[in-house]
């Protein structure tokens, strides 16, 4: 793979040196998860600071998806802590975690296929506005919700497809909507699970640029296989191998880390 | 378009309002039952069609609504408290909602087939419990009561019951329709499509599904209460799995994907059952056959068919469809006549009475009568009738399908000439 070619945008971003030291938004402390006898996550420590764009990379089977599922509440940790803004969230229900300010997107497209694009977004937005189980007023009258839906449509560049069924969208449009919906719950930290999986080169480039603009100022944690995406989007990289983080740091440092080269990047180059 | 829809609804309401003037008590009763089953189907569709929860035990809430109404009426009758008869359906609504919350809380822990199984089991629980619990469900004979006079209305006349039913069914239908436009109503659709995703958008999906299920049970309870008011009785058979299955079949025939379709399906199937059960003992067979045919050829049901036509057929397109549809009708009638002949004659030939007659005649052919005609079961002429009908229908079918398909394209496509000139 030619994927390790340095991306100019990332070095520009990380080289600006205006980072404000702050407490981490998300912190994993000695997090462990076993399925039966099999230890998938074996003591992960990770801190994602406010405003950081953090990539989580690692070979197949390293436990990246499991880690996402632990953080977002899909799985209950075997031991250890997941701390969001100083609050332990490990083992809480997904909807509680979402309301505490953590939202995620999914690797496989995970939308409401028989609803329109705007309705998909509206589900996200109306929950954010507190209309969860409201049944005594029509949704069309919630002008603040509709306005925000239109704003997000504009951001993810799907205004033109507002009333189309999601099932009729192109794949990359569905992926954009997926991210838009995760973003519309207004999270403090956004977890993106392989946002460019299955995309062509142009689509990937478009998506990276889109993600960069829509997540401006947001804290990101991204799982990604495509190294050009990682270097183009993120200013911090953590490498997960066999359920452990073997290195964390800025892209250049991680790339030159011999342990990483041996465990992951070297293997990638070799294949 | 929406203006046309409002106009149609107003006209329909107007027609319903003046019906009692023209109809006999018997027919009025049939329409009351049709309205009640239509409401039942609409309430069921809230859970099934909109939120994707296929309940196989909705008869539980229908029956509970009926018993709640009967008990309320009995209390009024005994003078325990006074409660106006027109508001009795509220008792059904309250009991339906409460049990919907309780049972729904368990059932909605699971989705898909497992959800269906839990709802079925809970309904069966009531069905087996009711005949043995005399004080509450009146044993096998059930409980009967009398509609009390209130607000200066005696409620002894069929027309009074008719208007009471019409009022409640209209109100409940409006509520159910308005619900689809609320945030929770929109959330129901999202839950149907992808519950997993809803959870990660900050919604407690178990709570949401329980609440939506309970609302469906609330309106089901109203339907049950209306039935109890109309019949002045409630019986444990209201809990039977047949009642649960009926509403599922009716909803699918009507089209679970549309709002009004299930009401049409339920009303027409109730009417169908009433008419055919008087004519033939094989009516359940015809009902089953109808269901299979609808699922095979019109899987979106009556409502889906109407929606297709109103959305896709362009202006003036119906002209092209009239003749092909007539051809389809003729084909269908030929096939139907053949099937009916075979089913009915088989039914007669296998009946105990006919077998006894052949025995007593000592093996000679005994003619059987049917539609006022006598037929000899041993003559090839007799059997050539249904076979001829079926063959004629089968021969026409490919042509009818081809012609209809072509006409449909013609009626729905926007002027094909445009493509040629461009």
pLDDT 10s digits, B1-30: 578 888 888 888 888 888 877 878 788 888
Is residue A211 included in any domain, yes or no? no
| Inter-chain residue contact A135 with B197, CB threshold 8 Å | no
| Inter-chain residue contact A185 with B201, CB threshold 8 Å | yes
Chain B: residue nearest A131 by CA? B183
Is residue A126 included in any domain, yes or no? yes
| Inter-chain residue contact B182 with A135, CB threshold 8 Å | yes
Residue A190 main-chain phi, psi, to 5 deg: -115, 125
Quote the minimal CA–CA distance from B230 to chain A in Å: 30
The third-level CATH classification (topology) of the domain covering B26-272 is ABC transporter involved in vitamin B12 uptake, BtuC (1.10.3470)
Assess whether A122 and A156 both reside in one domain: yes
| Inter-chain residue contact A99 with B202, CB threshold 8 Å | yes
How much is the average pLDDT of B242-256? 89
Instruction: Give how many domains chain A has, as a whole number.
Output: 2
Residue A88 main-chain phi, psi, to 5 deg: -70, 120
Assess whether A180 and A231 both reside in one domain: no
- Given a contact cutoff of 8 angstroms between Cβ atoms, the answer to whether A188 and A219 are in contact is yes
How much is the average pLDDT of A27-54? 89
Is residue A213 included in any domain, yes or no? no
Assess whether A49 and A119 both reside in one domain: no
Structure-token pair, residue A250: 């800025």
Is residue A19 included in any domain, yes or no? yes
Boundaries of every domain in chain B: 26-272, 313-414
Percent of chain B with pLDDT over 90: 21
Assess whether A40 and A149 both reside in one domain: no
C-alpha B158/C-alpha B171 separation (Å) is 20
pLDDT 10s digits, A180-219: 899 888 898 999 988 888 888 888 888 888 888 888 888 9
Assess whether A78 and A139 both reside in one domain: no
Residue-number span of the structural domain to which A154 is assigned: 110-186
pLDDT band at residue A226 under the 50/70/90 scheme: confident
Pick from B193, B196, B200: which is nearest to A113 by CB?
A: B193
Token pair 């030291």 in the structure block, residue = A21
C-alpha A47/C-alpha A71 separation (Å) is 12
Is residue A207 included in any domain, yes or no? no
DSSP string, A81-96: EEEETTEE-TT--HHH
Assess whether A176 and A225 both reside in one domain: no
Assess whether A4 and A96 both reside in one domain: yes
Assess whether A70 and A149 both reside in one domain: no
Contact residues, chain A to chain B, C-beta under 8 Å: 72, 93-95, 98-99, 103-104, 106, 110-115, 119-120, 122-124, 126-128, 131-140, 142, 181-182, 185
Mean of pLDDT over chain B:
85
Chain B: residue nearest A73 by CA? B200
Residue A37 main-chain phi, psi, to 5 deg: -85, -20
| Inter-chain residue contact A135 with B179, CB threshold 8 Å | yes
- In three-state secondary structure terms, B351 is coil
CATH number at residue A7: 3.40.50.300
C-alpha A105/C-alpha A195 separation (Å) is 8
Q: How far is CA B284 from the centre of its chain?
A: 14
Is residue A214 included in any domain, yes or no? no
Is residue A181 included in any domain, yes or no? yes
CA quadruple A7, A12, A14, A15: dihedral, nearest 10: 130
Pick from A99, A110, A138: which is nearest to B181 by CB?
A: A138
CA quadruple B309, B310, B314, B316: dihedral, nearest 10: 90
pLDDT greater at residue A133 or residue B213: B213
A19, pLDDT greater than 70 = no
CA nearest neighbour of B256 among B36, B33, B41, B61: B41
Determine contact: B179 vs chain A, CB below 8 A: yes
How much is the average pLDDT of A93-119? 89
Mean of pLDDT over chain A:
83
A22, pLDDT greater than 80 = no
Assess whether A88 and A22 both reside in one domain: yes
Chain A: residue nearest B207 by CA? A133
A246-255 LR contacts (CB < 8 Å, sep 24+): A248/A46, A250/A14, A251/A6, A251/A10, A251/A11, A251/A14, A252/A6, A252/A11, A255/A4
- Given a contact cutoff of 8 angstroms between Cβ atoms, the answer to whether A109 and A182 are in contact is no
Determine contact: B175 vs chain A, CB below 8 A: no
Using alpha carbons, list the distances in angstroms from residue B366 to A79, B340, B356, B358, B380. 84, 21, 11, 6, 14
Assess whether A125 and A20 both reside in one domain: no
Structure-token pair, residue B236: 């444990």
Assess whether A170 and A225 both reside in one domain: no
Determine contact: B310 vs chain A, CB below 8 A: no
Chain A: residue nearest B177 by CA? A138
pLDDT 10s digits, B363-416: 677 777 777 777 777 778 788 888 888 998 888 888 888 888 888 887 777 544
Is residue A196 included in any domain, yes or no? yes
pLDDT greater at residue A186 or residue B311: A186
| Inter-chain residue contact B187 with A132, CB threshold 8 Å | yes
C-alpha B187/C-alpha A126 separation (Å) is 10
pLDDT 10s digits, B31-60: 999 999 999 999 999 888 888 888 888 999
Quote the minimal CA–CA distance from B211 to chain A in Å: 8
Pick from B181, B199, B203: which is nearest to A132 by CB?
A: B203
Assess whether A59 and A171 both reside in one domain: no
C-alpha A142/C-alpha A140 separation (Å) is 6
pLDDT 10s digits, B322-335: 888 888 888 889 88
Which residues does chain A have within 8 Å of residue B202's beta carbon, measured at their own beta carbons? 95, 98-99, 127-128, 132, 185
| Inter-chain residue contact A126 with B181, CB threshold 8 Å | no
Measured in residues, chain A has a length of: 271
Question: Pairing state of beta strands A53-57 and A219-223?
Answer: parallel
C-alpha B236/C-alpha B62 separation (Å) is 11
C-alpha B382/C-alpha B344 separation (Å) is 13
């Amino acid at each position: 793979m030619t994927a390790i070619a340095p991306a100019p945008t990332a070095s520009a971003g990380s080289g600006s040196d205006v980072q404000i030291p702050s407490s981490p938004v998300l912190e994993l402390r000695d997090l462990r998860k076993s399925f039966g006898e099999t230890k998938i996550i074996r003591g992960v420590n990770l801190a994602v600071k406010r405003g950081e764009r953090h990539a989580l990379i690692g070979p197949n089977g390293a436990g990246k998806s499991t880690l996402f599922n632990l953080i977002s509440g899909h799985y209950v940790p075997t031991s250890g802590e997941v701390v969001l803004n100083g609050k332990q969230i490990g083992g809480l229900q997904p909807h509680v975690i979402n309301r505490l300010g953590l939202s995620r997107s999914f690797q496989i497209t995970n939308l409401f296929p028989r609803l329109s694009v705007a309705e998909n977004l509206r589900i996200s937005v109306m929950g954010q506005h507190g209309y969860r189980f409201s049944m005594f007023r029509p949704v069309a009258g919630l002008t603040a919700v509709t306005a925000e839906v239109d704003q997000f449509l504009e951001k993810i560049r799907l205004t033109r497809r507002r009333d189309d069924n999601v099932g009729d969208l192109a794949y990359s449009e569905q992926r954009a909507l997926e991210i838009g919906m995760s973003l519309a719950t207004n999270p403090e930290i956004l977890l993106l699970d392989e946002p460019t999986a299955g995309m062509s080169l142009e689509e990937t480039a478009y998506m990276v640029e889109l993600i960069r603009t829509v997540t401006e100022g947001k804290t990101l944690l991204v799982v990604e296989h495509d190294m050009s995406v990682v270097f183009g989007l993120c200013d911090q990289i953590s490498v997960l191998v066999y359920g452990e983080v073997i290195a964390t740091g800025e892209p250049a440092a991680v790339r030159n880390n011999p342990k990483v080269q041996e465990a992951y990047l070297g293997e990638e180059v070799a294949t | 378009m929406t203006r046309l829809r409002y106009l149609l609804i107003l006209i329909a309401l107007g027609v319903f309002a003046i019906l009692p003037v023209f109809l006999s008590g018997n027919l009025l009763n049939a329409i009351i039952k049709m309205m009640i089953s239509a409401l039942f189907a609409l309430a069921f569709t809230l859970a099934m069609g909109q939120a994707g929860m296929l309940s196989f035990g909705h008869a539980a809430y229908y029956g509970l609504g009926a018993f709640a109404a009967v008990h309320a009426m009995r209390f009024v009758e005994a003078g325990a408290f006074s409660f106006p008869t027109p508001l009795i359906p509220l008792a059904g609504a309250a009991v339906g909602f409460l049990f919907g919350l309780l049972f729904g809380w368990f059932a909605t822990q699971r989705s898909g087939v497992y959800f269906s199984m839990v709802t079925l089991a809970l309904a069966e629980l009531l069905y087996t419990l009711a005949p043995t619990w005399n004080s509450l469900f009146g044993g096998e004979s059930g409980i009967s009561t009398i509609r009390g006079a209130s607000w200066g209305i005696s409620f002894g006349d069929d027309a009074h019951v008719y208007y009471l039913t019409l009022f409640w069914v209209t109100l409940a239908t409006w509520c159910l329709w308005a619900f689809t436009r609320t945030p929770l109503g929109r959330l129901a659709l999202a839950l149907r499509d992808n519950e997993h995703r809803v959870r990660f958008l900050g919604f407690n999906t178990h709570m949401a599904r329980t609440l939506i299920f309970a609302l469906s049970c609330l309106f089901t309870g109203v339907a049950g209460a209306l039935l109890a008011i109309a019949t002045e009785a409630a019986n444990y058979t209201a809990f039977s799995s047949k009642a649960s299955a009926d509403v599922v079949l009716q909803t699918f025939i009507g089209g679970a994907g549309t709002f009004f379709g299930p009401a049409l399906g339920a009303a027409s199937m109730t009417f169908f059952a009433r008419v055919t059960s008087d004519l033939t003992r094989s009516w359940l067979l015809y009902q089953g056959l109808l269901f299979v045919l609808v699922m095979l050829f019109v899987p979106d049901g009556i409502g889906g068919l109407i929606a297709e036509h109103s959305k896709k057929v362009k202006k003036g397109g119906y002209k092209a469809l009239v003749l092909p549809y007539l051809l389809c009708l003729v084909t269908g009638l030929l096939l139907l006549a053949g099937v009916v002949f075979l089913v009915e004659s088989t039914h007669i030939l296998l009946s105990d009475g006919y077998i006894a007659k052949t025995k007593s005649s000592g093996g000679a052919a005994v003619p059987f009568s049917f539609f006022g005609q006598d037929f000899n079961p041993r003559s090839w002429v007799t059997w050539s009738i249904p076979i001829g009908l079926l063959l004629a229908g089968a021969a026409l079918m490919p042509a009818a399908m081809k012609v209809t398909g072509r006409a449909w394209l013609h009626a729905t496509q926007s002027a094909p000439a445009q493509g040629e000139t461009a």
